[in-house]
Amino acid sequence: MNVKEIMTPNPVCCTPESSLQEAAKLMLDQECGCIPVVENTSENRPVGMITDRDITIRTIAEGRDPMGLSVGDVMTHAAFTVTPETSVEDCCNVMEQHQVRRVAVVDGNGACCGMVSQADIATNAGNKMTGEVVQEVSKTTAGSMR
């Protein structure tokens, strides 16, 4: 099975210049907790991710005013990617290796064309693969933030 069979296609994206309020509104509208951050909307190449946890931990918990911050101020500056042709097993390996719950899917031009989450793995892969991903991604490391 390949990633293209389980990914969420055409995810909404934001840029580092987007406001946190815009990102949070996208999460609300799309019923998701993670938005790929792209360098610009014309090329759609991922440069990071913004999660509901990023917003909470890196603003509210630190006493910062989220209304004055942009996505670039609190986003995770890493976007681990796979292609639509990547096997689900290899996608799981990427998630485990980097301890991330979501990866962006990029096309041949490097543009974001989908997302794969732990939930996608859980609903489409076998119990063994799902259990391994959850176990490996959930391991804690000093100073980790997922």
CATH of region 3-138, choose from 3.60.15.10, 3.10.580.10, 3.40.50.2030, 2.60.40.1840? 3.10.580.10
pTM (two decimals): 0.84
The model's pLDDT over 120-140, given as tens digits with 9 standing for 90+, comes to 888 877 655 556 665 556 566
Please state the domain extents for the chain: 3-138
Tell me which amino acid residue 11 is. Answer: P
Give residue 124's pLDDT: 79
Exposure letters 14-48 (e unless 16+ CB within 10 A, then b): bbbebbbeebbebbeeeebebbbbbeeeeebbbbb
Interstrand relation of 102-106 and 112-117 (parallel, antiparallel or unpaired): antiparallel
3-state secondary structure of 120: helix
Which amino acid makes up residue 29? Answer: D
Question: pLDDT digits over 40-71, tens only?
Answer: 989 999 999 999 999 999 999 999 999 999 99
> Tokens representing 23?
């990102």
Do 105 and 84 meet the contact criterion of CB atoms below 8 Å apart?
Answer: yes
CB 44 within 8 A of CB 79: no
Amino acid at 130: T
